[in-house]
Chain A
Amino acid sequence: MRISTAADLERLKQEGHKQLHPDTVRIMVGTATCCLARGAGKVIKAIEREAAAQKFACTIVPVGCIGLCHQEPTVEVIQPGKPRIAYGPVTVEDVPEFIKALAAGGVDKKRALFRSEQEYSLFAAEPYRYAQGAVADDLKEIPAYSDVPFYKKQVKICLRNAGTINPESIEEYIAMGGYAALAKAVTQMTPEQVIHEVTKSNLRGRGGGGFSTGKKWTECRKAPGGQRYVLCNVSEGDPGIGMHKSLLESDPHTVLEGLIIGGYAIGAAQGYIYISSGYPLGLKRLQKAIEQAAAYGLLGTNILGSGFNFTVTIKEGGGAYVCGESTALMAGLEGRIGEPRPKYIHTAVKGLWDSPSDLNNVETWANVPVIIGKGADWFSGIGTGSSKGTKVIGISGSVKTPCLVEVPMGTLFKEIFNEMGGGVPAKRKLKAFQTGGPSGGVLPARMLSLNLDYEEMGKAGTNLGSGGFIAIDDRACMVDIARFFTQFLLEESCGKCVPCREGVKRLLQLINNFTIGIGTEEHLTLIKELAFAMEKASLCDLGKTAPSVVQYAIKYFKDEFEAHMQGQCPAGVCKDLILYSIDAKLCTACGACIRACPVNAISGDPGSAPTLDMKKCIKCGACKEVCDVEAITT
């Protein structure tokens, strides 16, 4: 069936509603990559098997990620007439008991996380209520969604549908108000009005640059030339980060809808999505989304009867970090080596195949349908003076509860870290945190009072990047952290310009001097001098920001560099500067280190502290890792 009018869309919405709120029990299992890694795939099969065995009629739906990575696999259940309840973690072993409770019409209180009385919906005038009337007494002990600290401060725009809809079902997306913004844009608004709305919303690039999206669109629309392109960048390569991956896997249609609206506004008939090969599931779901949208006529010719034609092509990239840079990405799309070129003429004027091209990040595109649907004023009501809307943040590293959240701009990192990430694990102390990936900075723990705001973060010496937050605790050595990110950049630099290619190589050598204890004050001066040339003269932002992690490490953790000059690694990380020993006073003679040692360097009899043979020791740290009483010292 082809949707050619707004009435058709409304009809489809009703159908989607039936899917979202069926008469039977709807069991929704999180199946983003993070969930699958925790065994969601097996859980879904186990639920199917168990439901069949117990003759329990239910609809089992794979959905996206609800952000609670530490509670995965998460399962949400909607029983008709009851609030929607989230459970987690639900492992394969838990499934029989879990299904038994559900089949009896009850809830599994042991695994229940929270209950939601109504659907989280941005577009519905009256949000759908799962249960009518007051909450049943027996459910009151399960915390309400609005009371869960994890969700309290979150505002979900990009992730509004994540965990609620089946990412492979366009009907469910439409039922949540999807594609209504597109219909509004192409039937009721001129392209200029769409751009005006986006400009007014003050939406800024979510890829890290923070450039005004409206300005970019205006420049691209006004640029001379016939053919123009809209491009979507799905190539976050920062180590330890997966916000965009999760977004794409949970709700590919919102990205697609944003891209189509952008195409209409800019006057492009062709869109490209550049997706890194590291996103196989996102790619699959995106392909499906494009097929479904094309089948309904939301892509192709004469979209919704407006005369606007638009097609989207997916281009798989190799996953190079540098291909997140706009000109390198375009070179990749053209089939050339992913190397940046100077942008003295903006890509909005001369980009892909020398045509005006508008490149936005996947999260930026995901914001567009909401801005058009809810209006710029609604959107700019969220956030700070200069940074509007929300930001998806992935919290990882040394935190109690690694998770994915979407918070309004202006939220303090303290809140994100303590209330959503749960703070540092027991016995540990937060030393530093890292934002913006390898091109961001490392900041000391005391700077957690920083705002999530483009300008504030810029002033503090870091950047928002794609929204990663890595907590670093007292076990980490800051020299080693600097080494890690510089090593990453050496591998990921495209190698085109001299300051970046040769500079990063030398920078790494200089840092390595410290990790092996031969660093000197002169080396620190040389790092500074080299960093100046790299920042000023590199071709693209990868090289320009390459020295920032080491520079901020030196600025805030100079004492660690000085300790390394004396041949000490205070955190006991740099292998050349440490010797392991076993503290007999603390040792409980449990024998865990003996079993953990891969080279049999630790030996001993039961009941007494083992001994360590330094001749055999390879300093892998496996013993330290397993020791519960921290008897292994460096």
Chain B
Amino acid sequence: MPQLTIDGKQITAPVGATILQVARENGIDIPTFCHHEALEPWGACRLCIVEVDEGSRTRLVTSCNFPVKEGLAVTTKNKSIIAIRKMIIELLLTRCPNAQAVRQMADKLGVTGTRFPIENEFCILCGMCVRVCKEIVGAQAISFASRGGNKKVASPFFKRSGDCIGCGACVYVCPTQCITMNDVTEATDVYAEGTEQVGYARVMNNWRTRLPLKVCKSCGNPIAPEFQLQVLGKKAGLAPDALDLCQGCKE
């Protein structure tokens, strides 16, 4: 088990842990924006930057994915680290001046405003939605599109996603709440020739996807998206009719 120091505190860390994990377990706070315990480290927001002294050299690394080593001396706060974090949050505040999570983080880091011309985005491109969809849900319905200044999260070709199961994991995990979904009772398709009733449906607003909801065989209330039940039922190896009833009717 490697021995290291974080801000001068002697710590024995488990093998394979990251600096961030060890620091948080020991009550040392490091700000993060793209990190989630359930997901693989991503290292994109760069807020969790710390300085490590490996004996031979010191350098700035992201603590979320830097594995602990024997004899490592970590500094989580110093003049340049604070300057960098402040600049990063200023850049995010420029991009998303109206996102609550960004404003809260800015307050925490002592940044009150931005010196750059502001935009009005809400997505900070932390990639948590993309990663949760891939790593946890396994649907890979959404991904990053374009690059550089035009980068965004989208369903393939900005069209209806054929892989989205409407689970809402992306909605849940989004730190700035810019991904939304809602269930509607009377979804309708409108054509020139007339309209077609779809009935209960879940709308994934950001992914331009609408999934019909399955209704309970017994009471007729909506349960969950039909496609989601199919996928999950298959994954769990359930009988085709196992998910035909809502929780209430089952009991």
Residues on the A chain within 8 Å of B65, using CB = 342, 344
Q: A344-B66, A490-B148, A503-B91 are in contact. Are A497 and B84 (CB under 8 A)?
A: no
Residues on the B chain within 8 Å of A494, using CB = 147-148, 151
Contact B44–A496 (Cβ < 8 Å): yes
- CB contact between B91 and one of A344, A495, A498 (< 8 Å): that residue: A498
Q: Across the A-B interface, give the 6 residue pairs with the lowest CB-CB distance, nearest first.
A: A495-B151, A533-B87, A502-B91, A493-B148, A537-B46, A533-B84
Scan A328-362; emit 1 where CB is below 8 A from any B CB, else 0. 00000000010101101100000000000000000
Give the contact stretch, choosing among A16-24, A365-373, A524-532. A524-532
Q: List 17 A-B contacts (CB under 8 A).
A: A489-B148, A492-B147, A492-B148, A495-B147, A496-B127, A497-B43, A498-B44, A498-B47, A498-B92, A498-B124, A499-B91, A504-B148, A526-B115, A532-B83, A532-B84, A537-B84, A539-B44
- CB contact between A502 and one of B92, B127, B146 (< 8 Å): that residue: B92
**Listed residue (B46, B61, B151) with the most chain A CB atoms within 10 angstroms of its CB:** B46
Contact A506–B116 (Cβ < 8 Å): yes
Report the separation of the CA atoms of residues A499 and B117 in the bound assembly, to the nearest whole angstrom: 16
Q: Which residues of chain B in 16-60 are interfacial with respect to chain A, using CB atoms and an 8 Å cutoff?
A: 43-47, 49, 60
Interface check B149, CB cutoff 8 A: yes
Besides A345-B67, A491-B147, A496-B127, 11 more A-B contacts (Cβ < 8 Å) are A342-B65, A342-B66, A491-B148, A496-B151, A499-B84, A503-B91, A506-B91, A529-B83, A536-B80, A536-B84, A537-B46
- CB contact between B144 and one of A337, A537, A538 (< 8 Å): that residue: A337
- CB contact between A529 and one of B43, B87, B124, B125 (< 8 Å): that residue: B87
Report the separation of the CA atoms of residues A313 and B135 in the bound assembly, to the nearest whole angstrom: 29
Q: Which residues of chain A in 351-402 are interfacial with respect to chain B, using CB atoms and an 8 Å cutoff?
A: none
Q: Which residues of chain A in 107-134 are interfacial with respect to chain B, using CB atoms and an 8 Å cutoff?
A: none
Contact B116–A501 (Cβ < 8 Å): no
Contact A342–B147 (Cβ < 8 Å): no
A64 to chain B, nearest CB (A): 33
Q: A498-B91, A502-B94 are in contact. Are A538 and B46 (CB under 8 A)?
A: yes
Residues on the A chain within 8 Å of B124, using CB = 498
Residues on the A chain within 8 Å of B116, using CB = 506, 509
Interface check B88, CB cutoff 8 A: yes
Q: A501-B148, A533-B88 are in contact. Are A495 and B43 (CB under 8 A)?
A: no
Interface check B143, CB cutoff 8 A: yes
Scan A16-41; emit 1 where CB is below 8 A from any B CB, else 0. 00000000000000000000000000
Residues on the B chain within 8 Å of A341, using CB = 43
Residues on the A chain within 8 Å of B84, using CB = 499, 532-533, 536-537
Which B residues form the contact surface with A (CB < 8 A)?
A: 43-47, 49, 60-62, 65-67, 80, 83-84, 87-88, 91-92, 94-95, 115-117, 124-125, 127, 143-144, 146-151
Residues on the A chain within 8 Å of B46, using CB = 497-499, 537-539
Contact A490–B60 (Cβ < 8 Å): no
Q: A337-B144, A533-B84 are in contact. Are A497 and B91 (CB under 8 A)?
A: no
Residues on the B chain within 8 Å of A498, using CB = 44-47, 88, 91-92, 124-125
Residues on the B chain within 8 Å of A90, using CB = none
Q: Which residues of chain A in 530-577 are interfacial with respect to chain B, using CB atoms and an 8 Å cutoff?
A: 530, 532-533, 536-539
Output the nearest chain B residue to A337 by Cβ-Cβ distance.
Answer: B144
Residues on the A chain within 8 Å of B44, using CB = 496-498, 539
Report the separation of the CA atoms of residues A501 and B92 in the bound assembly, to the nearest whole angstrom: 10
Contact A342–B62 (Cβ < 8 Å): yes
Report the separation of the CA atoms of residues A165 and B78 in the bound assembly, to the nearest whole angstrom: 59
Interface check A322, CB cutoff 8 A: yes
Output the nearest chain A residue to B52 by Cβ-Cβ distance.
Answer: A344
Interface check A320, CB cutoff 8 A: yes
Interface check A505, CB cutoff 8 A: yes
Output the nearest chain A residue to B124 by Cβ-Cβ distance.
Answer: A498
Residues on the B chain within 8 Å of A499, using CB = 46, 84, 87-88, 91
Report the separation of the CA atoms of residues A337 and B124 in the bound assembly, to the nearest whole angstrom: 19
Residues on the B chain within 8 Å of A345, using CB = 67
Q: A509-B116, A537-B60 are in contact. Are A342 and B43 (CB under 8 A)?
A: yes
Report the separation of the CA atoms of residues A108 and B140 in the bound assembly, to the nearest whole angstrom: 66
Report the separation of the CA atoms of residues A493 and B148 in the bound assembly, to the nearest whole angstrom: 4
Report the separation of the CA atoms of residues A488 and B229 in the bound assembly, to the nearest whole angstrom: 46
Contact A495–B148 (Cβ < 8 Å): yes
